A and B are shown apart, each in its own frame.
Chain A
């Protein structure tokens, strides 16, 4: 059973919700916000082992290249250019599709591996903690997320997605059985929640909402969700003690009043997932 935690807007509390729920539900946690994974700060896994993630990139044999530009034309990402000094590759634009190699009539293009990041796997008690880390300056998260997917089995897993509704989020959510949309009672939170709802519906994944930093403005989220027939599984109050714990890299689930709140959300989430 796989549950994606996403939000649309950044900073609504995806990591707060998913790390605390993983602790309460005693299940696997996967941080797929590979550009800046921070779930490990809170879960503090030990015995972490690392696997390198590489993509294949073309290598050009300039002596064999006759300058036909078939590779340039086939490349959908403009990663290859034929200049007056020969073929030039822009490694970071290459999506490793291998089309250039297939179309080259002279066999001038071969393949090599290039490391773009890693995945870490560790444990906190009986909770397995996994994260993907994309190297700084690398533009493509896809291969790291793909590698994360390969390294988990079908047992209960929370996928802490990246913000937004980009390819990275879509890739993280695909194959998930349920989605938990974390929002906050602000205009921006609501605006981006609508986008997250639209995306989740498009992917036909059943979902529900959690309101983080809930305050006197939470009514607008309730109003929207009731109109759209979306269930709200719970609210985490806007409380200074949550911010203090967060700033120290501490989880909330073992502190009152958050303990009961996360237990409640976890219970309702399990019901929803089973009924979906």
Chain B
């Protein structure tokens, strides 16, 4: 099984990034090899559709599950269509949230937040 965690850095001790579309890296944990791999998020620098580009990154990594803070509507739709389960965590490092997931499980994300939720401003025009 491959678990993808939205992360601020590229170490397993890096903190979780609560934003899915605009996180710096995805840390991919393989439960068979017990190894972590850092993948840069394609969505980080995109001018629009960040969640979509991030979802493509995760899909291409053949993830089975995603652990993140919030998901926008487009990313949610794509991950669902690709049978990737999404779990919520709010704080902790990458290896901590993976451990939490493996030991006790994490709550499922079943509802998307509005578009541009993590951008620090609403109603962006342009």
Give A residues with C-beta under 8 Å from B: 69, 72, 76-79, 81-85, 88, 90, 93, 164, 166-167
Contact = CB atoms under 8 A, between A and B. Distances in A.
Nearest to B42: A78
Interface in B54-74: 55-56, 59-60, 74
Contact of A82 (B49, B50, B56): B56
A82 B48 contact: no
A78 B48 contact: yes
26 contacts: A69-B60, A72-B56, A77-B47, A77-B48, A77-B49, A78-B43, A78-B46, A78-B48, A78-B49, A78-B52, A78-B53, A78-B56, A79-B52, A81-B52, A81-B55, A81-B56, A83-B59, A83-B81, A84-B82, A88-B78, A88-B81, A93-B48, A93-B49, A166-B125, A166-B126, A167-B126
B83 interface: yes
Nearest to A95: B48
Contact of B82 (A85, A90, A164, A167): A85
Given A77-B49, A93-B48, A167-B126, A84 B81 contact: yes
Contacts of B47: 76-77
A85 B82 CA distance: 6
Given A76-B47, A77-B47, A93-B52, 9 more contacts: A77-B48, A78-B53, A78-B56, A81-B55, A81-B56, A81-B78, A82-B59, A84-B81, A84-B83
Contacts of B55: 81
Nearest to A86: B81
The size bracket of the interface on B is 10 to 19
A81 B75 CA distance: 10
Nearest to A166: B126
B74 A85 contact: no
Contacts, number: 46
A90 B81 contact: no
A164 B126 CA distance: 9
A166 B53 CA distance: 24
A85 B81 CA distance: 7
A76 B47 CA distance: 9
Contacts of A90: 49, 52, 74
Contacts of A77: 47-49
A167 B81 CA distance: 34
A93 to B, nearest CB: 5
Contacts of B82: 83-85
Nearest to A35: B125
Nearest to B126: A166
A77 B53 CA distance: 9
Contact of B59 (A78, A79, A81, A167): A81
Nearest to A72: B56
Contacts of B50: 78
A84 B59 CA distance: 8
Contacts of A69: 60
Contacts of B48: 77-78, 93
Q: Which 7 A-B pairs have the closest CB atoms?
A: A78-B49, A84-B82, A78-B52, A83-B82, A78-B53, A166-B126, A83-B81
B78 to A, nearest CB: 6
A78 B54 CA distance: 10
A164 B123 CA distance: 13
Contacts of A85: 81-82
B21 to A, nearest CB: 10
Contact of A79 (B49, B78, B125, B126): B49
Contacts of B83: 84
Nearest to A85: B81
A69 B57 CA distance: 12
Contacts of A164: 125
